[in-house]
Amino acid sequence: MRTFARVLLAAIAGVAVVFAPTAAAAPVSGISAQLPFPLTLQPDGVRAPAAALAEANTGLIVWSRQPDTRLPIASIAKVMTAVVVLESGDLERPVTVSRGAIDSSAAYGGSTAGLAPGEVLTARQLLYAMMLPSGCDAAYALADAFGPGREAFVAKMNATAQRLGMPNTHFTDPSGLPVPDDYSTYSTPAELVRLGRHAMANPVFREIVRAPVHHQPAGPANHHHVWENTNGLLRDYAGTTGIKTGSTDAAGTCLLFEAARGGQRLIGVVLNSSPHDLDAAAADAARIMDWGFLPILGAGPAG
């Protein structure tokens, strides 16, 4: 576990602190009296066995727990699916939702965006359908179109992971469902932070994942849809800007998150906070960010 968080953030804030991180958890003599807040080396009450928090502007990981352990990531995999689609640059491309996309989602009890076979939506619209309600049906529709075919699309996901410097990440399904098994799609907390920073650098992605709800009007070839974001932090944690929840039996409840307060942006991830309770993952994320935000940087308006 690396626990040099608040001291490094203090350095970023311009506070004169010199600290060589060690495994010791004891307070550093003489430092706490110089800082405008109590010095603690790690957040309290975090249930997730694997997690990481980074300063989003630089990518500096300031606290972590099992940062390099490979674990299933559930629907956080959809972040990479979105990255592959966004990097195609063809967001107005019409995509027909196939019966196979619906059936594949249903076969594993995946969350859906309520799409119907034969509906035609643009790639941009399907990104909302995938990222907000975590629609596995939308993920499969996008993969079928932009692979073309799922096998080719998953190959693009893995090639992108390698390009981004994520050697401990592997994808076998564009939705994050346990295909072919519970542990075939995996990553690490440190590499998910890297993926999250890359995705959040795209303004279209940021616009999508910060939306609490998206209303998709009915059109000539699509039904009316209302897609609500599964990320409860957007509602409950001031300054949240994204990004993605996940949950399967093996992965438990997971959350890749970002928030900004004043001049400070934090990005992080928690994996397996609870077997089934997404609120537990949100609570873990909130505890970590409460610890990570510096009062001297976070006193400005949220966001």
What are the residue numbers of the active site? Answer: 75, 78, 134
Alpha-carbon span 47 to 94, nearest angstrom: 42
Alpha-carbon span 157 to 80, nearest angstrom: 6
Alpha-carbon span 82 to 243, nearest angstrom: 12
Residue 197 contacts residue 79 (beta carbons within 8 Å): no
50: tokens are 């694997």
Question: In this structure, which amino acid lies at residue 171?
Answer: F
Angstrom distances, CA of residue 119 to CA of 88, 161, 175:
22, 31, 19
Residues paired with residue 170 on neighbouring β-strands, in sequence order: 186
271: tokens are 């994996």
Place of tokens 């990531």: 73
Angle at 56 between CA 290 and CA 254, to 5 degrees: 65
Q: How many CB atoms lie within 10 A of CB 3?
A: 19
φ, ψ (nearest 5 deg) of residue 260: -135, 140
